A and B are shown apart, each in its own frame.
Chain A
Amino acid sequence: MRHQIALVLLVAGVAVLLLAGLALLRLPAPYLRLHALSPASSLGAPLIALALAVETGPGRGAAKLLVIGALLAVGGTVTTMAIGRTTLRREEADRT
């Protein structure tokens, strides 16, 4: 039963990451592309970490995996904000 739950979570996470990859390739504008980046890091990768934690079962290993998932979510959000700000600054610099 636990294995099945882990597999479902894994498939969901992989699907989100694949969609993000496809979106990054297809979307044309710089700011639209940011929307491809944030779900990948705040939903896709933590889902995979959660799937692995469910598969491992309760214990230190699972806790470590969950910490990695949380780190990915926080780091991805910060990264998206920083890249958005840099894109804005560079566009302003190009315009002047």
Chain B
Amino acid sequence: MNAWLLAAAVLLVGAVGPGAVVALRGPAQQRLLGASLAATAVTAVLLLLAQGFGRSSYVDVALILAVLAPTGTLVFTRLLAGDPSGAEN
């Protein structure tokens, strides 16, 4: 039994799960909230998995995600805010 893997499993249920539920309901900007919480939690999960499996090279995946997630969210907000016709649907 590995404390790091256990923490990763708990986070998958308790933090990524709610993020996914929020990301599946409501208007687009509310879904973004759920998606970005899920991204933060997934980064933590990937770090914990790297430690739990004992492979330090897995940390690279978490590093890339930590860079890509805010960039992706900024692109989303830019395109959603700059498109007033999107409010009709």
Contact = CB atoms under 8 A, between A and B. Distances in A.
Query: Does A pair with B?
Result: yes
Interface of A: 7, 10, 13-14, 17-18, 20-22, 24-25, 30, 33-34, 36-37, 40-41, 44-45, 48-49, 52, 55-56, 61, 64-65, 67-68, 71-72, 74-76, 78-79, 82-83, 85-87, 89-90, 93-94
B19 A24 contact: yes
Contacts of A64: 59, 63
The B interface is mostly helix, strand or loop, or mixed, namely helix
Interface of B: 3-4, 7, 10-11, 14-19, 21-22, 27, 29-30, 32-34, 36-37, 40-41, 43-44, 47-48, 51, 56, 59, 62-63, 66-67, 69-70, 73-74, 77, 80-81, 84, 86-87
Contacts, number: 139
Contacts of A13: 44
Given A18-B15, A64-B63, A75-B67, 17 more contacts: A13-B44, A14-B7, A14-B10, A17-B11, A18-B10, A21-B14, A21-B37, A41-B37, A56-B51, A65-B47, A76-B70, A79-B73, A82-B73, A83-B29, A90-B27, A90-B86, A90-B87
B47 A21 contact: no
Contacts of B36: 37, 41, 76, 79, 83
